[in-house]
Amino acid sequence: MTYIKYFDIVGRVIESNTKSISERISREKGISYEDARLEIIDSIIKHLVINSREWASGCQPNIHYEDPTCRMAYLYRIVPVNANLLEYVFENDAEIEEYLLGVQNKIGEVRICVFGGGPGTELLGLAKRIEKRRFKNQIVLNFLLLDEVNEWLESWRAIRKEIDSKFRNSISLNRNDWPLTTSGDFCALDITNIDNFDNWGAVFDQDIYIFSYIISEVFDNYPQLKNFIAKMAAQSPEGAKFLFIDRVEKKWKDVIIDIAKNAGIVISEFHDTASSIGVVSRDEEKTDLGQIYVDVMKRYSKGNPRLGWKAFWIVGTKE
């Protein structure tokens, strides 16, 4: 039995985007498809370079997710490793995984709110974890995605479609036989601006809230984010879980302690983790990214996807 493969799915999604954008550019500029494709590859490479520089700058990163080739660079370099980290967290934290199972058994679905969830990292990581864990009953994941970049919806849905077709081809045509089914509502909003929200109760009655590499991404607007999380947590059901994952630096841990205290979220202990896809997921191969990997590496020798992580996670509970 082969499981969901991160690089394979992400590679397919990028390839299909690259193809449709190259066709459009070729038509619009009157150039060959091959030349248009090279423009796209070079733009992806440009964003690989800029994004790495921004994340290493020590300041709040300025990443141009509104640009489709920047989103492809993020999918290419970061999504597989972050999805694998999320899978690892669920595998190694009984508190969060057993809670997920308990909610499923009780209400027949699990409602998951993902802050900065546009890229689909959490969808991919949870799908693979659930497929591998083989729960007795089907798991139904109902996502609420909060992300200021509306265009992420396109690749989120493409990832979901790839997961569904993997199950359809390897398990059964009938969804009822699959280990999990997923659905998602996308909410394009700035999580550091609470002004647009009146009816919090209708939106934030979720079971699990995930913040994966989001605290370090919006750090300059931390007071507003703190405010947002406090208002949201006030509406969440008692017992709801809050999962924070981020780079292993003390400043992010301090921020999370402060956010949790302010929002009435009781946190457990921090877990530090340093590992890599090669160590924890032997079935994953970066070359499964396919043609995009070949094209990027041909023009940029430092164009490998990220494989390792140095991170921490912590689970909080709404009391």
Ligand X SMILES: C[S@@+](CC[C@H](N)C(=O)[O-])C[C@H]1O[C@@H](n2cnc3c(N)ncnc32)[C@H](O)[C@@H]1O
Site residues for ligand X per CB under 6 A: 65, 78-79, 82, 116-119, 121, 146-149, 152, 190-192, 212-214, 217-218
Q: What's the rounded Cα separation, in Å, for the pair 153 and 119?
A: 8
Taking the complex as a whole, the smallest distance from the CB of residue 62 to ligand X amounts, in Å, to 10
Q: What's the rounded Cα separation, in Å, for the pair 150 and 270?
A: 32
Distance set, CA 247 to CA 160, 191, 199, 244, 309 (Å)? 27, 20, 33, 10, 8
CB closer to ligand X, 10 vs 36: 10
DSSP H helical ranges for the chain: 6-29, 33-55, 68-77, 79-92, 94-107, 121-133, 152-170, 200-203, 222-235, 250-263, 277-280, 291-299
Quote the tokens at residue 20: 């449709």
Cβ atoms of 267 and 260 closer than 8 Å: yes
Which residues lie below 8 Å from residue 254, measured CB to CB, with a gap of 6+? Answer: none
Taking the complex as a whole, the smallest distance from the CB of residue 231 to ligand X amounts, in Å, to 15
C-beta nearest to ligand X: residue: 116
Taking the complex as a whole, the smallest distance from the CB of residue 81 to ligand X amounts, in Å, to 9
CB closer to ligand X, 36 vs 218: 218
CB closer to ligand X, 68 vs 117: 117
Taking the complex as a whole, the smallest distance from the CB of residue 88 to ligand X amounts, in Å, to 13
Taking the complex as a whole, the smallest distance from the CB of residue 26 to ligand X amounts, in Å, to 28
CB closer to ligand X, 149 vs 297: 149
CB closer to ligand X, 18 vs 212: 212
